[in-house]
Amino acid sequence: MTRHIQLTEQGKLKHFLTIEGLDKALLTEILDTAESFAGMSEHQVKKVPLLRGKTIVNLFFENSTRTRTTFELAATRLSADVLSMNIATSATSKGESLLDTIHNLEAMHVDMFVVRHALSGAAHFIAQHTAPHISVINAGDGQHAHPTQAMLDMFTIRQHKKQFEGLKVAIVGDILHSRVARSQILALNTLGVAEVRVIAPKTLLPAQVKTMGVIPIHDMDEGLDDADVVIMLRLQKERMNSAFLPSESEFFRCFGLTEAKLKRAKADAIVMHPGPINRGVEIASSVADGPQSVILQQVSNGVSVRMAIMSMAMHSQGVTA
Whether residue 89 has pLDDT greater than 80: no
pLDDT on residue 210: 87
Question: CATH for 147-296, among 2.60.40.1180, 3.40.720.10, 2.50.20.20, 3.40.50.1370?
Answer: 3.40.50.1370
Q: Is 67 a catalytic residue?
A: yes
Is 306 assigned a ligand-binding role in the annotation?
no
Assess whether the region 2-145+300-315 and the region 147-296 belong to the same CATH fold.
yes
Active-site residue among 14, 77, 117, 146?
A: 146
pTM of the complete model: 0.92
pLDDT on residue 316: 63
Q: In Å, what is the CA distance from 73 to each residue of 22, 56, 76, 84, 112?
A: 26, 12, 5, 11, 15
Which residue ranges make up each domain of the chain?
Answer: 2-145+300-315, 147-296
Q: Is 94 a catalytic residue?
A: yes
Contact status, residue 263 vs residue 292, Cβ threshold 8 Å: no
Per-residue pLDDT band at 92 (split at 50, 70, 90): low
Active-site residue among 89, 94, 211, 320?
A: 94
Round the average pLDDT of the chain to a whole number and report it. Answer: 90
Contact status, residue 105 vs residue 79, Cβ threshold 8 Å: no
Q: Is 90 exposed, middle or buried (0-12, 13-18, 19+ CB in 10 A)?
A: middle
CATH (residue range 2-145+300-315): 3.40.50.1370
Q: Is 69 a catalytic residue?
A: no
Query: Which position has the higher pLDDT, 285 or 208?
Result: 285
N-terminal to C-terminal alpha carbon distance within the chain: 31
Is 320 assigned a ligand-binding role in the annotation?
no
